[in-house]
Structure formats: structure tokens, C-alpha cells
Amino acid sequence: MTDITERTFNFALRVVKLCQFLNKKYEAEKSILSKQLLRSGTSVGANVEEAQAGQSRADFIFKMSIALKEARETNYWLRLIEAAEMVESEKIADIKRESEELKKILAAIIVSSKK
């Protein structure tokens, strides 16, 4: 199994590529959604990476919690982009599924770290 840092990095890369596609397809005012997605989607992995160097268990949990919040926000933007029909559902299904899985994994890491 791929570790969480690698998995969130790969997820961020997929988000970057999706945003590049959206920016080519839509004019500037519609690409605001793309910018929001890019910010939150890349932040998930950045915060997981930061958590790895946490100075304490509390710091680790705090940074993982931020990663979870960003994963939730990313999932929101993906759902909105799909609902707005900016991307066909079948083309976005896999990244949405990964977003959902990352939320569950991050939540489980936080819960187990609190014990």
C-alpha cells in the first residue's frame, strides 16, 4: 500500500492536471472554481508532509486535521464542478473517489493518533 504522503502527493498532481484542463476550457471568471480546487487539493498533501515533521503528537494531529479539512473542501469543489457540468461525471469519478478515500484515511489517522 502506498503511504499517505505519496498518495496525497499523487492526488495533488491529479488536481493540478484537472485544473490545467479547466483553465484551458473555461474563461477567467469560471476558472475561479479551478483556483479554489487547486489551493485546497494541493494543500492536503502539503499539510500531511508538514505533519510528518510535527514537533509533538499534538502538532502532528493538528496538521493532519488541517489536511482533513482541506480534503473535505477539495471534495466540495469537485462535487460543485461536476454539478455545474464543467467536467463529465465519468471523467471526474475517479478523483472524487480518491478524495472520499483520503478523507476517511485522514480521519482514521487522526482518531488513532489521539489514542
Q: Model confidence over 31-71: pLDDT tens digits?
A: 788 999 999 999 999 999 999 988 899 999 999 999 999 99
Cα–Cα nearest to 49, from 78, 7, 99: 7
Q: What is the pLDDT of residues 5-31, one digit of tens each?
A: 999 999 999 999 999 999 888 776 667
Query: What domains, with CATH codes, occur in the chain?
Result: 4-114 (1.20.1440.60)
> What is the pTM for the complete model shown?
0.90
